Structures are given as C-alpha cells and as structure tokens.
Amino acid sequence: MLELDINLVFIIIDVLILYFVLKKFLFGRVRKVMEERKNEIDQSYADAGQKIREADEKKAAYEQQLALIDQTRKESLDKARKDADAEYDRIISDARTRSDEIMKDAHKKAEADAERSRQKAEDEIAAMVKEAAAKIVNTESDKELYDAFLDQTDHETAENA
C-alpha cells in the first residue's frame, strides 16, 4: 500500500504555498496584463471598424462627387455641342445669304453687261444700216455698195481683234 511519509506532506504543503504565492503575485498580474491586452485589441478592432466605416462614407461621398462631376461634364459637353451646332448653323446661314447676294449681284451685273453689249451691238448695227443707206443713196450700183460694205466690215473686224 501507499505509505504516507512526512516528505510527501511537506511536498504537498510546498506545492500549495507555491500555488498561492504564484496565484497572488504572478497569475493576478498575468491575468491583469492579458485583460489589458485583450481590451487594447478589442479597442483596436473597434477603431479599425470605425475607420473602415469612415472610409466607406468617404468613398461613397467621393463616388457621389465623381458622379456629379461626370454629370456636369456631360451637361457641359452637350451645351458646348449645342452651341457649336447653333454657331455652325448660323455661319452656314450667313454664308448662304452672302452667296445668294453675290449670285444676285453677279446676275444683275451679267444682265447689265448683256444689256450694254446688246445696246452697243444695236447701235453699231443702226450705224452700219445708216451708212449703208447713205451709201445706197450716194452710190451708182449695188456692186459698189456691196464692196464698200465688205471693206468697212473687214476694217472694223481688224480693229476689234
């Protein structure tokens, strides 16, 4: 059987004293340090969670600003395109108006030039007819009249060329 010896009793008493001393001085402090560390870690997690929420809020605000900027950019581009189209239409309209005026002026000048040329030709023909009539009255024969008319026509053609 098992014998109880005094050494065994002292060992048990030493172990119990060692346990109470360690519990009083070591385990309490270790638990306190571990509790403080646990609280620090919990606080770090709470701070990290708060920072993540703040970052998410800032990200949402940033994305909202980007969307607003993008919308503003699109509106500005649309307005610029409309303004450019309006300016283009105005320039084209002005150009067409000017070209119509130029064409009308050119047409009027061409008509005036044609009228002057026609009038000049009529005047020349009338002068030639008068000369021919005067020569007919003054000439003795048709042959002489015909030859004189041809000479004068050749002479005037050479001068105009």
CB atoms within 10 A of CB 64: 10
d(CA 80, CA 86): 10
Residues 131 and 152 sit within 8 Å (Cβ to Cβ) = yes
Q: Can you give the pLDDT at residue 138?
A: 66
Q: Is the pLDDT of residue 85 over 80?
A: yes
Question: Which residues lie below 8 Å from residue 135, measured CB to CB, with a gap of 6+?
Answer: 145, 148, 149
Q: Is the pLDDT of residue 156 over 50?
A: yes
CB atoms within 10 A of CB 131: 13
Q: Can you give the pLDDT at residue 1?
A: 45
What's phi and psi for 2, nearest 5 deg? -90, 130
Domain boundaries, the chain: 7-160
pLDDT digits (tens, 9 = 90+) for 34-74: 999 999 999 999 999 999 999 999 999 999 999 999 999 99
H-state helical runs in the chain: 6-21, 28-138, 142-160
pLDDT digits (tens, 9 = 90+) for 101-120: 999 998 999 898 888 888 88
Question: Which residues lie below 8 Å from residue 149, measured CB to CB, with a gap of 6+?
Answer: 128, 132, 135
Q: Is the pLDDT of residue 151 over 70?
A: yes
pTM for the whole thing? Answer: 0.41
Question: Which residues lie below 8 Å from residue 14, measured CB to CB, with a gap of 6+?
Answer: none
pLDDT band at 92, cuts 50/70/90? very high
